[in-house]
Chains A and B, each alone.
Chain A
């Protein structure tokens, strides 16, 4: 090989190397879809707060593999069609490795088929049951399914029995607003109560547009339940409290809610150890990450409180775990491959091992229950092992 050939090869190699170095992105780019206006913004805004806080924290601590995260945010305005347009735009940007967020099941349902067909990874906290079972390529849930939360909630009653807060064969009442999500949760509750031999003495549903739940609550009061399974919005604590009191139901009656209400602001409206909420994210008082989460929330001027905030924070930690393993050269395909087999404890943010399997794209293995004690959010009892359904 002559000097000219050798020089040419070295020159070409240098050009290729230089091109690769220049082409390597200085940052990881993720795309977020969230409902920032409209009815979905009840959960979309706090979820976005959680995602922004987590990313601000990660970037402030030096990023991942030396690269910072750049989050491109799109507002789906609580509308499936807008979410779909958002997703198309994000997918068209080849640098975006994954769509994260998508806080309403309506939007997740609209976006689901597109991300599946384009192999774009999506980590959402509101994937409807039909897109989870059987699992679809690219669609991942960063929350515990509605039905599973209902099942775990009924199982939690056993710890109330052990603590002497409920009789051994408790009479259970169910109260929920009307929606497809609460319907799935309700099925989980009813089936598990039946399996455990608990009697469902009242089963009430109310319209979200109503705001007057007295008739339903009076029927529950007539049934004199020992425990309540309550699926309400974050903003309905005052309504529950005043209506229960008016109907003569002691507000000390144990209630178990959905993870929306795993919030100091909501649970603090009830007496200590009276209202319990499930959560997959271990961010409460005394948790290993408590100080870090509070600090990260401060970076973006928000308060670390509420189920949706922690869901947003958790979604970013799932993405971080993927990026950690995927490496500096991570692209969309390798991101998806890593996500497909992710096993991590998310730095202690999940109660147990968090893993996605080929059988199920919801990663939780354990669910904790929180309540309020002396104004602080605290975990009650050990986290319950869950089988995703």
Chain B
């Protein structure tokens, strides 16, 4: 029982964090067509900004709001200062730029904050004891936050004019411009949202780890989960995150060592061969 409880709570936290990272990823992919490799690094940066804000302001809620606001502004600026100039470029070029951007974010973070870990004090310390093991109440808070954000994102993308325009923009940027859609404003909005979501993921992850530059590696596991579930599907990335959290934890437990990572990458490769659009993703056609 202890084993089930401990591993179960670990799976829930991991799946939630993967989910939070990936809905930001999907937001960018579905609205701007950019597969963003910088998401993991933004998770790390968001967590470090939160830790700094907490040191300066104290408490939890105010630093949280400040962090979300600052990271949203950062996302906006990232688009205006960099990604805007790639408007109309091939998807590959945009993806490569985010790849290099990840290195820039990592180096700036190290120069600004060093390599050390940053602790974020949690607002709730209650836990539920089950035998020798326990589940932290914060895991349920994280699940609730993830659920609210998923519903919110779904409503924005599917039920608002802005969301529909964002998706149209990803389908065909040039046509969107001719149709009078303000591509730059909407893209900047998507980047602001994606960076803020990454920060929320980092803050959630801080209940398990201190935030240091290695936290950026969460992107290495979250991205395959998104690919597995379907890059353009919010439910798909959530299912992918849950599958991978179970697979990674289970394989690590039963086979030991570092076999969990091997398992998730192998599963991603198999999925890409059998169903390239992912578990719940939809096939997108490209006019040539």
**242-265 of chain A: CB within 8 A of chain B:** 242-243, 245-248, 265
Cα separation A247 to B258 with both chains bound (whole Å): 19
User: Is the C-beta of A59 less than 8 angstroms from some C-beta in chain B?
Assistant: no
**Cβ contact of A239, chosen from B6, B210, B248, cutoff 8 A:** B210
Cα separation A217 to B131 with both chains bound (whole Å): 16
B260 lies within 8 A of A215 (CB):
yes
Question: Inside 8 A of B250's CB, which chain A residues have their CB?
Answer: 215
Cα separation A243 to B7 with both chains bound (whole Å): 10
Question: Inside 8 A of A71's CB, which chain B residues have their CB?
Answer: none
Cα separation A235 to B256 with both chains bound (whole Å): 23
Question: Inside 8 A of A204's CB, which chain B residues have their CB?
Answer: 256-257
Cα separation A239 to B135 with both chains bound (whole Å): 15
Q: SS class of chain B's interface: helix, strand, loop or mixed?
A: helix
Take A210-B261, A235-B214 as given contacts and tell me if A216 and B252 are in contact as well, using a CB distance cutoff of 8 Å.
Answer: yes
Q: Which of B20-28, B142-150, B189-197, B215-223 contacts A (4 or more CB under 8 A)?
A: B215-223
Q: Which of A117-125, A189-197, A218-226, A326-334 contacts B (4 or more CB under 8 A)?
A: A218-226
Most chain B beta carbons < 10 A, residue from A210, A214, A247 = A214
Proximity string of chain B (1-31) to chain A, C-beta cutoff 8 Å, 1 when within and 0 when not: 0110011011000100000000000000000
Q: Which of A23-31, A37-45, A152-160 contacts B (4 or more CB under 8 A)?
A: A37-45
**Cβ contact of B6, chosen from A178, A221, A233, A235, cutoff 8 A:** A221
User: Is the C-beta of A318 less than 8 angstroms from some C-beta in chain B?
Assistant: no
Question: Inside 8 A of B116's CB, which chain A residues have their CB?
Answer: 234-235, 265
B115 lies within 8 A of A207 (CB):
no
A211 lies within 8 A of B6 (CB):
no
B208 lies within 8 A of A239 (CB):
yes
Question: Inside 8 A of B136's CB, which chain A residues have their CB?
Answer: 242, 246
B208 lies within 8 A of A209 (CB):
no
User: Is the C-beta of B185 less than 8 angstroms from some C-beta in chain A?
Assistant: no
A248 lies within 8 A of B210 (CB):
no
User: Is the C-beta of A205 less than 8 angstroms from some C-beta in chain B?
Assistant: yes
Interface footprint category on A: 35 or more
Take A212-B10, A214-B6 as given contacts and tell me if A235 and B134 are in contact as well, using a CB distance cutoff of 8 Å.
Answer: no
Most chain B beta carbons < 10 A, residue from A37, A212, A238 = A212
**Cβ contact of B117, chosen from A210, A235, A245, cutoff 8 A:** A235
User: Is the C-beta of A237 less than 8 angstroms from some C-beta in chain B?
Assistant: yes
Residue of B nearest to A207 (CB): B258
A209 lies within 8 A of B209 (CB):
no
Question: Inside 8 A of A238's CB, which chain B residues have their CB?
Answer: 117, 119, 208-210
A178 lies within 8 A of B10 (CB):
no
**Cβ contact of B249, chosen from A205, A208, A209, A212, cutoff 8 A:** A212
B110 lies within 8 A of A218 (CB):
no
User: Is the C-beta of A236 less than 8 angstroms from some C-beta in chain B?
Assistant: yes
Proximity string of chain B (125-169) to chain A, C-beta cutoff 8 Å, 1 when within and 0 when not: 000000111111000000000000000000000000000000000
Cα separation A235 to B212 with both chains bound (whole Å): 7
Residue of A nearest to B245 (CB): A212
Question: Inside 8 A of B212's CB, which chain A residues have their CB?
Answer: 235
Question: Inside 8 A of A265's CB, which chain B residues have their CB?
Answer: 116
B6 lies within 8 A of A212 (CB):
no
Cα separation A46 to B240 with both chains bound (whole Å): 40
Residue of B nearest to A246 (CB): B6
Question: Inside 8 A of A38's CB, which chain B residues have their CB?
Answer: 110
Chain A interface (Cβ < 8 Å from any Cβ of B): 37-38, 41-42, 45, 178, 204-212, 214-219, 221-222, 233-239, 242-243, 245-248, 265
Please give me the 5 A-B residue pairs with the lowest Cβ-Cβ distance, nearest first.
A248-B132, A215-B252, A235-B117, A214-B10, A215-B253
List 6 interface pairs A-B (beta carbons < 8 Å), by A numbering: A45-B114, A209-B214, A211-B218, A221-B132, A242-B136, A248-B6
